[in-house]
Amino acid sequence: MGNLKSKHFEDGEDVTLNHFVLQNSVGRGSFGKVRIVEHKETKKQYALKYINKVECIRMNALKNVLRERNILEKLDHPFICNMRFAFQDECNMFMALDLMLGGDLRFHLNRRRFSEEAVRFWITELACGLRYLHKQSIIHRDIKPDNILLDQAGHAHLTDFNIAIAYTDKPLWSRSGTYNYMAPEIFSSQGYGTSVDWWSLGVVFYEAIYGKRPFIFDHADKVKEAIQHAEIQFPEASKTGPVSEECISAMKGFLERDVTQRLGCGPDGFLHIQQHPFFRDIDWDELEQKRSRPPFAPSQKQSNFDITYDLEELLLEQNPLETRPRKRNQKLRATLGKELERIEKEFRNFDYLLYERYPGYVDPLKMCVGDPPEWVKCVDPEPALSDTRGTKSLDGFDSDNEDFAPFYDIRRRTMDV
């Protein structure tokens, strides 16, 4: 989306917590939480992710928080939980994201089994999201049911970019992610790239069909060994009935250890997904416009979140969320001054309403008259999904040289083993 100045286009006021009405709590992590909020002006609801500055610094996670914020600023796609606002106060960093009231996929998989039709729908939407991310030179690195949110209609969206990374032309080496969903090449000495996201999508695919992950062990070393070498079993039936040959073939394609043969990988990887028998009847252009009706719609009569989060916020919170002006806390500055200064400088305000109000997006002719404001994002239309030949190769990588596990999850955590 490009860098933005912190002022509203019309009223000149910085976005702050005062612009929102606080509602239910829907998640928490080691030092951050998520609440539903309503924007006072637009009346739209968002998921407000707020991260305690001091805890973030003490857990050595600041680099990842800043990286997540910067990655989200550049993204805007139907199957991603896009960031709409970012700001900070004395205590917290805030990111307001698209609200998905359907809950996360883990919530639903723990409660029922789903048909091949429903699973195929999710996998195709998530594949569209991954294709977009990889074209933006972003690797997610933590695809799992916990990080897949459904909206009220049942569409799937990728979220939690706290260990995502931008890449260029160097391989990644760090073992970042959730163990059960890590690809074999993460444990190799060759480095890895976008291929790891397609493997993780395959694990989610398998889990949604069979109700369990391909490898279940009580020790991380055993999981690592199984991911690299153990034979994956693909039963011909699940708890919902027979599993089609086409479905098994697609799962095997994503869970192929040879990266050069893995479904989704390489310059024509997405085309191979589209042409696979399991996905061949999908109208991909309709799908990405969200014109296809989801086979499963979450309940709108009851919550799709764990209600204990709201009770904890009400009964146990020692430092409840409230508006706090940005000011210089001298006591904290004495011990954490350098890091706090970095937050002040690098966790910049972001307000997508600047785009909504800019006349160039309402009337294309106005975009051509004079130079647009410096915060206007570049418009680079995506090619039609039905025409993926000739797309840019996704062989470039980048190295972060870190070994950092996910530090924050807005819902319940998935155990690493």
pLDDT band at 240 (very low <50, low <70, confident <90, very high): confident
Residues in the chain: 417
Predicted pLDDT of residue 168: 81
pLDDT band at 250 (very low <50, low <70, confident <90, very high): very high
Mean pLDDT to the nearest integer, 229-244: 93
Q: Measured in whole angstroms, how far is the alpha carbon of residue 313 from the centre of its chain?
A: 24
- pLDDT per residue as tens digits for the range 192-229: 999 999 999 999 999 999 999 999 888 889 999 999 99
Query: Strands 20-28 and 45-52, how do they pair?
Result: unpaired
Q: Annotated active-site positions, please?
A: 142
Query: Which residues fall within 8 angstroms of residue 321, CB to CB, at 6 or more apart?
Result: 17, 22, 33, 35, 50, 92, 313
- pLDDT per residue as tens digits for the range 285-297: 999 999 999 999 9
Cα–Cα dist 197/147, whole Å: 13
Domain boundaries, the chain: 17-99+303-360, 105-288
CATH of 105-288, one of 3.30.1490.20, 3.30.499.10, 1.10.510.10, 3.50.50.60: 1.10.510.10
pLDDT value at 271 more than 60: yes
Residues placed in the known binding site: 49
Q: Which of 172-186, 248-262, 326-340 has the lowest average pLDDT?
A: 326-340
Residues placed in the known binding site for ATP: 49
Q: Which CATH superfamily is domain 17-99+303-360 in?
A: Phosphorylase Kinase; domain 1 (3.30.200.20)
Place of tokens 């989200």: 72
